[in-house]
Amino acid sequence: MAAISPQPTFDGDILSAPLIHTDRNLLACIEPDYKPFIPGNSLRRMSRVLKMGLAAALKCTADSGLDTPGPIITGTGKGSLQDTEKFIKEIVEYKETALNPTPFIQSTYNSVNGLIALQQKCTAYNNTFVHRGFSFENALLDSIMLIQDGEPHTLTGAFEEITTEHFYIKSRIGFWKNESINSADLCQHLSPGSIAGEGATFFTLTGTPSAHSYAAISGFRMLYKPTKEKLNAALKAMSIQPDLIISGRNGDSNYEHFYKELDSCYPGIPQLGFKHLCGEYDTASAFGLWLAAQIIKTQQIAEQWFPQQQPLTTPVNSILFYNHFYGEQHVMLLLERV
């Protein structure tokens, strides 16, 4: 797996990485040096989220030790916002004449998938889901279905960017907090709205465990606008007693009650939030899953990211993951140690 995120997750030792925080209510990705992954002439033409998505996908494939990515399935809520915004404006600016097609092509939601396939010469199954907080989740479901049908492995990921303009647009409908906060305190700072984020996260999924495996996905459920009762029942059915919970808690008082439901289902289980690391976005679940898989593999929690958390004293054999996107799309996953 590989993650480009607002934290130094792409290179180096995560356990010693510092906690990056901001008071802008917007956590932007730390972009890596793309040159090892993408040839210079291609790099110049590519917009930001395409570079992030492609680099994360390539690094993930390298990390997996596999020669080819196999089927490529991704999720993105918004695709390349930068290109969409650019093309909308150029249509007006140039009065619909002599337009450069590049932003239009790159704004197409499956352009990252196409690029990965092209660069890897991969002719296998290829699909892109674009459904807010169910984008990555449907990509994951599609991948699991492929593996159950006999595919040995898939490249499965998500990518999202936030632009200044889109940050403003979403601020108009209450997505972000009005007051500026220290992102490090996000999970404890309860008020309407969250803080914005972005990221590109990819996983190689296999049907059988290997020396490269981080974790096993043993439970998975998506719920669309569930009632309190339905959510409660689904959460309880996920696990008897997980060793750790990772939740998408994001300091948004409008939707905190869903996380309270989680607390009530699993009292006393240690719980980590992750949105203070990556911010809130359509495909933040992918980053949360990455974090969960890291913890279960290394059996360590990066102290600087979770200063309030006591060091682990017992093995983490299972992690329950729960996230929702503005109360509409809910996902729960159970990870187990390989």
Taking CB under 8 A as the criterion, the residue among 24, 35, 225, 260 binding another protein is 225
For the CA atoms of 166, 327, 181, 306, what is the dihedral angle to 10 degrees?
A: -120
Stretch of 5-13, 137-145, 204-212, 263-271 lying at the interface with another protein (CB under 8 A):
137-145
E strand or H helix at 229: helix 228-238
Taking CB under 8 A as the criterion, the residue among 28, 142, 197, 319 binding another protein is 142
Taking CB under 8 A as the criterion, the residue among 59, 78, 86, 153 binding another protein is 78
Which tokens is 235 given? Answer: 């959460």
Which tokens is 296 given? Answer: 């279960």
For position 150 contacting another protein by CB under 8 A, the verdict is no
For position 72 contacting another protein by CB under 8 A, the verdict is yes
Per-residue x/- track, 292-331, another protein (CB under 8 A)? ------------------------------------x---
Ramachandran category for residue 9: left, alpha or beta (phi over 0 → left; psi -120 to 50 → alpha): alpha
Taking CB under 8 A as the criterion, the residue among 40, 101, 150, 311 binding another protein is 101
Spatial distance between the Cα atoms of 279 and 28, rounded to a whole number of angstroms: 8
Closest contact distance (angstroms) between CB of 321 and another protein is 19
Ramachandran category for residue 255: left, alpha or beta (phi over 0 → left; psi -120 to 50 → alpha): alpha
Residue 327's Cα: distance from chain center in Å?
17
Taking CB under 8 A as the criterion, the residue among 66, 124, 269, 338 binding another protein is 124
Stretch of 83-91, 187-195, 200-208, 316-324 lying at the interface with another protein (CB under 8 A):
83-91
Whether 254 and 324 have beta carbons less than 8 Å apart is answered as no
Q: Tokens 């889109």 belong to which residue?
A: 166
Which tokens is 164 given? Answer: 């200044």
Taking CB under 8 A as the criterion, the residue among 10, 34, 37, 87 binding another protein is 87
Whether 32 and 7 have beta carbons less than 8 Å apart is answered as no
Whether 284 and 226 have beta carbons less than 8 Å apart is answered as no
Interface residues toward another protein, by CB under 8 A: 72, 77-79, 87-88, 91-92, 95-97, 99-101, 104-105, 107-111, 113-115, 117-118, 120-132, 134-135, 138, 142, 145, 148-149, 165, 168-170, 172-173, 222, 224-225, 328
